[in-house]
Structure 1
Amino acid sequence: MAISLSVVLLLAIVMVVLIRGGSLKAGPAVVAVLFGFFLASTGMAPAINRFLNSIAQTLNQITF
C-alpha cells in the first residue's frame, strides 16, 4: 500500500509539473488519469500491480 501511494503521489507531481510547464495540456492529462482509473478496474490490474511491485523490490535490493 505504501508503495502504490507513493507512486501515485510521484506521478501526480510529475503531471502537475508537466501541465504547468506547458508540456502537457489539461485535456490529455485528464484522459491519462481516466485511462489509469479504468485500467485499474480491469483484469490486468493484478498483473500490473505484481509487475510494479517486482520493480520496486528490485530497486530496493540495489545497493549503491
Structure 2
Amino acid sequence: MTVTVSLVLVFSLLVLALLRFKAVGVGAAIACALFGFYLADTDAADSINETVTALTDAISGIG
C-alpha cells in the first residue's frame, strides 16, 4: 500500500508546529509563505521542483 502526502501539507504542519512552540512568530511565518508564493512565479521554480522530485524519489527508493 502506498501513501502519498502532499509537500504542502507537510510544510504547513511544520509551520503550525513552529508557531505552536513559538520557534517562529506569525510575521515570519507569513513572510515565508509569501516568499514561497512569489518564488513559484520565478524561473527558479522549475529547478526547485526538479530537485524536490529527485529527493523524494531517492527517499522513496530507500524504503
Identity of aligned residues (%): 30
- TM-score where L is the length of structure 2: 0.88
Mapping of 1:32-47 within 5 angstroms? 32-47=32-47
Cα distance per residue 1:3-54 (max 9 Å; x no partner): 6x61110010010111011111000000000000000000010010000000
How many residues align? The count is 60
Please, which runs of 5 or more residues in structure 1 have no aligned partner? none
Q: Which runs of 5+ in 2 are unaligned?
A: none
Q: Mapping of 1:1-64 within 5 angstroms?
A: 6-63=6-63
Normalized against structure 1, the TM-score is what? 0.87
Following the alignment from structure 2 to structure 1, what is the Cα–Cα distance between the partners of residues 47 and 23? 30
Aligned AA for 1:22? K
Moved over 6 A (4+): none
